[in-house]
Structure 1
């Protein structure tokens, strides 16, 4: 500890001299001082000298400087794999008994020289001493990232990773950012690295949406280990009904194969399929012999009607784009040839319509009358004056019948549906289209997706605008020459896909109609066993204003008919309920509420799927653990030799304490004790002067 001042210390004697001078003038040059006894004069003289000298010294801004040295011990973090795969083998009792005892003893022995912390990880990391091996996913790279993030500002000396090296979520830990640091990673090799006997249904590739009675394909990925010459049957079930069967006969100890098959269903909604492979004697586990998946079965494809006034290359480009989507069935007619009913279609596309009179005008008016979602695409023969009566959200007053060559500029605030950056780039760099020259007006509810742009200058005229009124959606594209965009996509990307996806997204948004209801309840149709079941409900009055003060009763029924009653609580403009995790199985639910003596009810179903990701890999990956240790400067030990890690870490010169020296300054002016002392000095002097008759 040292005392310094902001000014030169040569001023300190001057402070004392001035203090002596003032005290001398007051007590030895003043005639009134003779009334005091000699010893009182001396005492008062000393008090005044000290007071003035200290006061002047404080004007030099003195401060006390303290230097402190802190030694921070290295932090050693133990990260234990808490996933189900650890207990998959026959030595599961070892991991719940002797192994944990050895792990805790290692932590205690390290605690003398290091700061030790214990974490478990699976799908996420947690700081706890409870190791139960219950997590259904393993993310090693995220665990390492989290440790580095939490101890970034500390003396992180080493990480001890206890795992079987198997991960099914996240990146390869060898290439994660955490593995590239200088912190050594010591690994404890758990599990069995020998290949065991096992049949595995690793994965099933399938479409998320299929159509009723339409065949759809699935691809089953099978692995068979140490079962050479053993025939196994692969079956597919729809519910409890078997719909497919085949046999495999491994000719080697390790078989990796895939099976393609066609399925069809007459059911609707979420349909559960089960793929199984025959269980063989002495398999390590049977939990990976089954794979469940669901498909959403729709009644039929969306029917799209494309009507044109005259043959145009844009019609062909739009048709081919829609035909690339197997969820759409497109019919193409000229306005004079079409004899059907527009109500048989989910979406109408008018190219060059409406015209001033005739069938084309009647077709567009019928689309408005029956509230059929429609898209209008401009060409030079279109009667744009009729657009306003068709509720397309835009009006055009053409000037002199001329057109402008314009490019597209994407509107960033567009949120009706998502557009990938590649598609936006393709559109904005595409050749210009011909847009009507004139004055454009937008409706209050219009949603512009593309603006017109000329020579890098964005105009206030829309190129593609969406509009919705009374539940009916419309769109208007104000340009002629879409076929150029499709050719540009192929030239730039080697594929028509960017253009086709763009058209299909527009059509899908229009064709997807949602009935607005006073009471709406929703939850995820498919939930894995490690996820919470969450419900959300919306309740409105007849003016579609939110109602927030009702109690919504919710009943959930499992496959055996057992009821679970709940009440949904209001949260701002909606109701929500988080139930937590439910056992694997199919559930139905019924929600109801009474509004103005009217009972509103919603029904639905959801499925909790098992998560067997931890059982798809049965052979421990000790090579990954070894590479991770060598890459970071650590080492790997077998689970039976955990105690060796203490010596390994102790010998590592990089795992050492860090010494910090810190300097702290304290101004004497901020000291309350200095103030109290000064007050005591001047108060004592004042008392003596008054007591002996001074003033």
Structure 2
């Protein structure tokens, strides 16, 4: 408290004292004892009121105990139940959260994890995938800048995400602890660990298959690998395994002799007394198609975008790309192509445009910095360009009302700008803009990427160049090119098709592998082909090999209706999606390939978990020794509760007791005066 404030309080006390004495001793009445009591009460009242008017501030210190966080994360995957430890895990969790010493030392937060991590509500061990690295990364984000230690109850077998051994070392100063679920003894085991095969194959062609098998044991064995299709053996080969040569690679070619989804089973012979034979067999599928769509890119100048477009389009094995300089183009090149991409058109493209117009063929035009704008405006009527030579840099701004075809969730907001022409471009026909231009952070209505339909043909226009940067950014964001490649694939699919536009569109895969998410997306448009978020879409699913049926409404998410199908048995399924009010329907079919990721291991991956705890200075133990791990955590000096002092200035007016004192003293003085006849 400041010295001046103390002086004011002393002055207030003197004033209150002098006033109280003067009031009761200037003209004495009644006894001296009564006057002393009344003057004291008057002094208390005056001093308190004047003190409230001065309203000095006092320092108030409060103490709180801050305990470190213990993030208890439980593996909710199917493997825990398969190994027979579900009851033990539930008992262990209950034992930990009710431990008095542990609660005195830590604030315990409970989570469950499988493919994702979430707060613990109930443990049912139904997750079909395990992503330990994501669980650790998410916990690190939750407890950023806080003292915490994760305790994972798991078998350590991750089948999704990165290697959690390396993820854990990125979490600096965080001790990762494990309670190991399962048998830590390593048994002799022979298994198929991977099958590499293309998603598509072409009729009457051979397609490559790569299979990797692994042996765990100390003996020398001879094992036969066979591949069957509909009960018939398509391939078989014997190979030797040993402790020193525990991995063998099988490379082979299979003949695609029937159109559609072809299912194969690859099996490696079990060894004697092998405990886990479920990982000796894996199923895979290939969709056999009759032809491959051809995309022709015609260019007049070389640019990195050309290679980017070729790689992106060919990421879909259903498409092939041919790059040709405009001087080398022949009419049959255009005629044999399903889609022609015109890169930086100028006067040299005259014969190309003539052939395209003659065939009324769909096209994809990319406008760049060297495009002859005057000539381009004159040779076609789908769009018009500003007639100047100035350029600017524009970022993509997603048009959420885009409805020409279905899109996955796109976020191009942080993507680098591309070179665009300065000025306003106009699009003719039945156009739909996917990306507008955002220039220097300012949103505009100038199109950057758009589609249009004129004279019975479809056309895509990209008013910029430099999209190779977008593909790079896609990799930086997601460690893969999928976002960008999927966008280009959708554009090519739209432009290469002449099908009539439907009001109900469905996006799905022809086959899925067991354990992976089965997601069907649908989009419904009203009569003006505007997305209708108020439609009533219903999906009816039927297993072709059994009586199983599933019927449920589809849920709106963004500009899509979604249905996530879980816990389906392997087999062939057909579905019908209906819009109840209009009666519009569409149908499809897919195959679910049997495979359970969570049943590939009978042992806990103790070795990897031990490495993680060693590198992060954490603790590891089995469920049987949970008390030992609890004692280690309790006695670790890194996890000591901290007493934190919080000092704050509190004005006197906030003290309710002072108001109570004023009321009490006034009341007492009034009653004494009344009793003694002074009122």
Q: TM-score range by the shorter chain?
A: 0.7 to 0.9
* CA distances 1:79-115 after superposition (whole Å, capped 9, x unpaired): 4545455576xxx55x456787677657747547534
Q: Is the 8 A contact 1:232 1:278 kept in 2?
A: yes
Query: Is residue 363 of structure 1 aligned with residue 355 of structure 2?
Result: yes
Q: Flag the structure with larger Rg.
A: 1
In the TM superposition, what is the alpha-carbon distance from 1:252 to its structure 2 partner?
2.2
* Structure-2 change in CA distance of 1:246 and 1:676 (3 Å): same
Query: Is residue 622 of structure 1 aligned with residue 622 of structure 2?
Result: no
Q: Structure 2: which 5+ residue stretches go unaligned?
A: 473-480
| TM-score of the aligned structures, taking structure 2 as reference length | 0.72
- 1:597-616 mapped onto 2 (5 Å cutoff): 599-616=583-600
Query: Is residue 23 of structure 1 aligned with residue 20 of structure 2?
Result: yes
* Structure-2 change in CA distance of 1:555 and 1:132 (3 Å): closer
**Corresponding residue SS for 2:637:** coil
Q: Is the 8 A contact 1:397 1:438 kept in 2?
A: no
Residue 577 of structure 2 aligns with which residue? 591
In the TM superposition, what is the alpha-carbon distance from 1:246 to its structure 2 partner?
1.6
**Corresponding residue SS for 1:250:** strand
Match of 2:128 among 136, 139, 155: 136
**Corresponding residue SS for 1:9:** helix
Match of 1:284 among 275, 285, 304: 275
Residue 252 of structure 1 aligns with which residue? 242
* Structure-2 change in CA distance of 1:407 and 1:166 (3 Å): same
Counterpart-to-counterpart distance in 2, 1:97 and 1:544:
54
Query: Is residue 644 of structure 1 aligned with residue 628 of structure 2?
Result: yes
* CA distances 1:617-642 after superposition (whole Å, capped 9, x unpaired): 56644333333333333444455544
Query: Is residue 661 of structure 1 aligned with residue 661 of structure 2?
Result: no
Query: Is residue 222 of structure 1 aligned with residue 213 of structure 2?
Result: yes
Match of 1:52 among 46, 56, 59: 46
**Corresponding residue SS for 1:15:** helix
Residue 493 of structure 1 aligns with which residue? none
Query: Is residue 560 of structure 1 aligned with residue 554 of structure 2?
Result: no
Q: Is the 8 A contact 2:58 2:650 kept in 1?
A: yes
**Corresponding residue SS for 2:275:** coil
* Structure-2 change in CA distance of 1:210 and 1:466 (3 Å): farther
Counterpart-to-counterpart distance in 1, 2:367 and 2:191:
53
Q: Is the 8 A contact 2:92 2:623 kept in 1?
A: no
In the TM superposition, what is the alpha-carbon distance from 1:602 to its structure 2 partner?
0.5
**Corresponding residue SS for 1:283:** coil
* Structure-2 change in CA distance of 1:193 and 1:690 (3 Å): closer
Q: Is the 8 A contact 1:322 1:504 kept in 2?
A: no
**Corresponding residue SS for 2:222:** coil
* CA distances 1:568-617 after superposition (whole Å, capped 9, x unpaired): 36748765555554333321101234666xx4220112344445333445
Q: Is the 8 A contact 1:584 1:610 kept in 2?
A: yes
| RMSD of aligned Cα (Å) | 5.5
Counterpart-to-counterpart distance in 2, 1:554 and 1:684:
80
- Higher alpha-carbon deviation: 318-327 or 166-175: 318-327
Q: Structure 1: which 5+ residue stretches go unaligned?
A: 399-403, 429-434, 454-459, 490-496
Paired positions, count: 636
In the TM superposition, what is the alpha-carbon distance from 1:138 to its structure 2 partner?
3.0
Residue 328 of structure 1 aligns with which residue? 320
Counterpart-to-counterpart distance in 2, 1:689 and 1:184:
73
Counterpart-to-counterpart distance in 2, 1:159 and 1:639:
16
Match of 1:346 among 338, 348, 355: 338
Match of 1:675 among 653, 659, 664: 659
* Structure-2 change in CA distance of 1:578 and 1:477 (3 Å): closer
Counterpart-to-counterpart distance in 2, 1:106 and 1:531:
32
Residue 168 of structure 1 aligns with which residue? 159
